[in-house]
Amino acid sequence: MKAIVLNEFGGVENFEEKEVDHPFVKDKEVLIRIKATAFNPIDYQMRRGAAESKLLKSNILGRELSGEIIKTGDKVSGFNIEDKVTAYVGSLASNGTYAELISVPQDLLAINPKGLSFEEATAIPMVGMTALQCFKRVKIPENKKIFIAGGAGGVGTILIKLLLANGNSQIYTTAGNSESINHLIALGLNNENIINYNEYDVCSVLEESDFDYVFDLVGGKMSDDCAKLVSVYGTYVDVTFLATETAKELLFDKATQIINIANYAQSFIKGEDKLSYYGKALKELFNRIEIGEITPTSIRLIGSLNVETVKKAHLLMEENKTFGKKLVMSIEG
């Protein structure tokens, strides 16, 4: 099969198109012909050899896919050949998703919702599961004020929809341009609750506010603002693991409760059914989409399976030029 392989850690020049062996299908796995895959910031962090690279089990990157089952293992139940499925595979599959084929444990899979394209479906698992984990691990009373750094992105969009559906209306967030602001208003936020961080100092605008719940979906300098805005004994939800030392010190001084969010955490749990979490979470997200509670993530199609597409996607993510849209690669086959 054709795949885009990372020869060594470093720059995008280390990607190469190669013919590699077909994946082997174990008893409880299915072989999927990948139709689309989405890119995530963790991809370029792995490519660079950052801490996340310890999760790599293949030199083919990519962590989520949508495609069609072409073979099933002897002990697979509930899935059949020609089923259209989606999965967040992390490092739990035979290889990454920058490839034509992949062997995936059946517990990771969910049947695609009707009316959703492969490209739309593949954009949901990682951001959706992250948002769902944020929502479920932090039970927020309806009357509490919430600050979300980076609400216009994929995770923020789904998290905001989940919170609004739960009755949480006092949501404040940031955006960097008019397109993102309009997107947030369309989700149901009040214009006055959206701060353009390119025009205003976020903490100055919100200096009279005290947030018991803060979600940091950005990291870096924005984590400093999050640490300033969260109340003493408040809750700081960290999705990026990119908080500055200044932020960490202030969060400690305020005795905040810090909740770390990581999709791959479930894989460390002992027990045979540990992977079923992923399939169940994805099914819940797809069900919420089908009833209209949340909407599919905005996507940008950037090419087919080749080195130039992968390079382009990584550079756009590194330069923060995705503008709230999930970058998606179509894979013909």
pLDDT in tens, 11-29: 999 999 999 999 999 999 9
Q: What integer is the mean pLDDT of 163-181?
A: 93
Domain range summary for the chain, segments of one domain joined by +: 2-124+266-330, 127-261
| Amino acid letter, residue 166 | N
Would you state the pLDDT for residue 119? Answer: 97
Helix axis angle, 221-229 relative to 245-253, nearest 10°?
A: 10
Percent of the chain topping pLDDT 90:
79
CATH superfamily of 2-124+266-330: Medium-chain alcohol dehydrogenases, catalytic domain (3.90.180.10)
Tell whether pTM > 0.85: yes
> Cα(186)–Cα(304) distance, rounded to whole angstroms?
31
Per the rule left: phi > 0, alpha: psi between -120 and 50, beta: everything else, 93 is: beta
Question: For residue 333, what pLDDT is reported?
Answer: 58
What integer pLDDT is reported at residue 320 of this predicted model? 79
Between these two residues, 285 and 296, which has the higher pLDDT value? 285
Given a contact cutoff of 8 angstroms between Cβ atoms, the answer to whether 28 and 275 are in contact is no
Structure tokens at 42: 């963790």
pLDDT top residue among 63 and 270:
63
Instruction: Note the pLDDT of residue 91.
Output: 86
Q: Does domain 127-261 sit in CATH 3.90.1150.10?
A: no
Kindly report, residue by residue over 221-264, the tens digit of the pLDDT.
999 999 999 999 999 999 988 899 999 999 999 999 999 999 88
